[in-house]
């Protein structure tokens, strides 16, 4: 699941560690999400979207959608 997480984080001027702190996850978890190594849980995807005041669909692309 690719997305705009890195772009949104950088627009805020936050490091991966700062974003992780705001979300209650590690910097490594943020890195894994940004690099596409791991997909967020549904709960985490909603928390990320809310943090950036975006819809989940605006942050993450669904690879199964046609």
Summarize pLDDT for 7-60 with one digit per residue, the tens.
999 999 999 999 999 999 999 999 999 999 999 999 999 999 999 999 999 998
Helix axes 27-35, 5-12, angle to 10 degrees: 130
Which pLDDT score is estimated for 63? 67
Which tokens hold the place of 11? 């627009």
Helix or strand holding residue 12 (H, E): helix 5-12
Q: What is the largest CA-CA distance in the chain?
A: 34
Quote the distance between the C-alpha of residue 58 and its chain's center: 11
Q: Please state the pTM of the whole predicted model.
A: 0.88
In this predicted structure, the answer to whether residue 66 has a pLDDT above a threshold of 80 is no
pLDDT of residue 61: 80
């Amino acid at each position: 699941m690719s997305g705009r997480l890195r772009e949104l984080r950088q627009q805020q001027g936050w490091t991966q560690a700062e974003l992780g702190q705001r979300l209650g996850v590690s910097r490594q978890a943020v890195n894994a999400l940004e690099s596409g190594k791991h997909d967020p849980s549904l709960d985490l995807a909603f928390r990320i979207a809310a943090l950036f005041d975006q819809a989940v669909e605006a942050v993450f692309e669904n690879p199964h959608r046609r």
